[in-house]
Structure 1
Amino acid sequence: MTTYNFNPGPSPLPKEVLDHVQKNMFNFEQSGMGLMELSHRSALYEQVHNQTISDLKDILRVPDDFSILLLQGGASLQFSMIALNFLGDDQKAAYVMTGSWSEKAKKEADFYGETYVLATTKENQYKSIPDVPLQDIQNNTAYLHFTSNNTIFGTQIRSFPDADVPVIVDMSSDILSKPVDWNTVDLAYAGAQKNAGMSGVTVVIIRNSLLEKASDKVSPSLSYKQHAKSNSLYNTPPTAAIYMTGLVCDWIKQNGAIEGMTERASHKAGLLYDEIDGSDGFYTGHAETEARSFMNVTFNLPTEELEKKFLAQAKEKGFVGLNGHRSVGGCRASIYNAVPVSHVEALVSFMKAFRSDNQ
C-alpha cells in the first residue's frame, strides 16, 4: 500500500534525494567514510557546506549584502537569539500575531526585553492575516517580527510591509516555496525540516547592515556575528542535515527553481481548496479565503464524529498526518514542496468518495 505523507513536519523528502542518499551518503565520494563521519574541517565537507550556502543564495536570489548562516537549535532557538542580538535595554520589539508560533516567538523574547503586539487576529481564531498599522510602531522599536506561514491555522502572509524598522520573518514552513522580496526583509530564518531538508539545521539569512548592529555582549555560541565570522563553522555543524539541504536545493533547481516550486504549491493547494469549496459545506476551510496557506490546508467536517471517521478511513488507505493540531482540531493536509502532486490528487479522490458516502 502506498503511504501518503501529509505530516506537518518533519515533512517528506523528495524520492530522488532519498535515493541519492542511499547510494552516496555512507561512502561519501568514495572516501570510505559516511558524510556524517567526516571532519567538519575537511575539504570534502567544506565543499558540501559552501555549495549548500551558494545554492540557497542562488535559488532565493539573496542579494550580496546578506549573509547566510547554517545554525542549530531549530527555529525556536532563533526566537531568543534574535532578542539577545538585537533587542537593547532601551528598545522594544514589535510582533504581528498570526498563530501559535508567533505567540511562542514573542514569549521567548519577553525574557530578554520589552515587546508589544502591533497587530493580531487571535480574536477570530487566527483565521485571517491582520492589517499591519505601521504608523503605530512605537519609538525605539528594534525590529518587527512576522511568521510568514502558520502551520496550525493554515494561513499565509503573501508579502511584507516596507517598514522603517528591521523586518524579521520566521519562514520555517514556506521557505523555498515562493520568491522573497529582500527589499522588505532584513532577516529570515527557517528550520529545514519542512521545505529545506531534514531536522537539525536552521537557515538564517541576514542583511549585513543589521548583522553589524548585533550586540557584542552575547556569548559566542549565540552570537550572529561569531557564526558569520566563522562561516557557520564556529562549532561542529549538523553535517548530515546540511548535506540533505544541499541535495534538496539540487532537486529544486532541477524542478524549475523557485518559480517551479511556486507553481507546484499553487497547483496542489488549488486541488484541495477546489474540493473544499465545491463540497456544499461538507468540508469547511478554517482560514478565510484571502489568507489561505499554500503549505497547510486546514478544514473541518460537519461533526466531530464524521471527522473521526474520515481520519480513521484515511489512515486505513495510507494517508498519514491528516489530524488537525490538538489546539484547533479538525483536519490538516500539509503539502510542502516534496509532496507529490499525485499524492494530493489521491487525497482529493478520497475526499470526494468520502463525501459521496456520508452526505
Structure 2
Amino acid sequence: MRRAIELAELGPATGVNPQVGCVLLSPTGEVLAEGWHRGAGTAHAEVDALSKLPPGAAVGATAVVTLEPCNHTGRTGPCALALIEAGVARVVYAVDDPGAASGGGAERLRAAGVEVEAGLAADEVEALLDDWLFAARAGRPRVIVKWASSLDGRAAAADGTSQWITGRAARTDVHRRRAAADAIAVGTGTLLADDPSLTARDDDGALLDAQPVPVVFGRRAVPDGAAIRRHPHEFVQFDGTELPAHLAELAARGIRSLFVEGGPTLASAFLAAGLADELLVYLAPALIGGPRLALEDLGVATIGEALRYEFSSVERLGDDVLLVARPRDDRTPPEGAPAQQTTPSEGN
C-alpha cells in the first residue's frame, strides 16, 4: 500500500480527479505491475496497471489501491468492472470513494465474488487526498479565509492605506499558502481599490511555480487594465450572491481549495454563511483605530450567537503572529451530507 501511495503522488495534485496508485500482486505475492492516474481523461490507476500485463496475467491477482475502485462510467469505464473482467481475485484499498455516482465499487466487486478489504493505511491516504476528499464529500472547495489586521482589528488606516500592516515573514507565509491553494478569491470592492495581482510570489517578487486561479466576487466590471488580467490564469467572476452555488461550480471545475484574500465584505460574507473551514489571522503588534475593520457585520446580535472557532495553531512570524482557527463543531463535513454533490470522482 505504501508503494501505491508513492505511485499516487506521481499524479497531479489539482483538478477534478484524485491522486490514485495501484500495485498488482501475483497469488504468491510478487509485483506484477504498477500504475497511477495521470489526470482527467487518462487511464485510472487500476487500468494503467492492468494495461502493462498480457491478457490473463492478472487472473487470481491482488490489486492494492489507494482509493476504492470506481463504479462509474465517465470519460473512462468503471475500474471495478475492469478488475472483475481481468480475473483479479482480491482487492485491498485504503479509503472509500465518497462519490454519489462513482462510489460502490467495493459492493460491485463483492457481488462478482472478489474478496475486498478496506481501510489499509487509511490515515495516510486521507492525508494525501485531504482537499479532494473534502471537496468530494462537501460538494464544494475547502474555504480558507485570511485577513491581516492590527491588534485592535483594523485592516487599514482611516485613509484606506493598508500596505504593509504585517512584516515580510508574514507576507512570505501568505504567498506560500496562496501557492498551495487551487484558487484565490477577492471582492470587486478590494479589486477596484487595491488592484491586487492575486499571484503567489517569492521574496524577490518572482512568480512561484504554482499559481491559484483568481476568482472575483461582485457585479462590478473588472477594468481592462487591472493587474488580475495579467495573471497566469484567466479569472473567473461571480455576481457575489448565492455563495454555495458558486462554490459548487468551482468544485465542478476541479477547484478543491479556495483562499479568500479580500476584503472585509467578502470575508464576512463567507463567515456569516458558515462557509469558512479555516481562518488565517495575521496580527501585527500595532494599533490603528478608526473605522477600517477587518470584518463587517456577521449577523451576530448577542454573544450567544457568536461564531465559535478553536485554535489549531499559533505561530510567530517575525514581529507578527499567525492564528489558525477552525470551526469548533467539525471542520470536515460528514460523508454524503450534501445531496447536491458536484465534484466528480476519478471516474470522470
Q: Which of the two has greater helix per residue? A: 1
Instruction: State the structure with more CA Rg.
Output: 2
Structure with the largest fraction of strand: 2
Same-fold status (TM-score > 0.5): no
- Give TM-score scaled by structure 1 length: 0.24
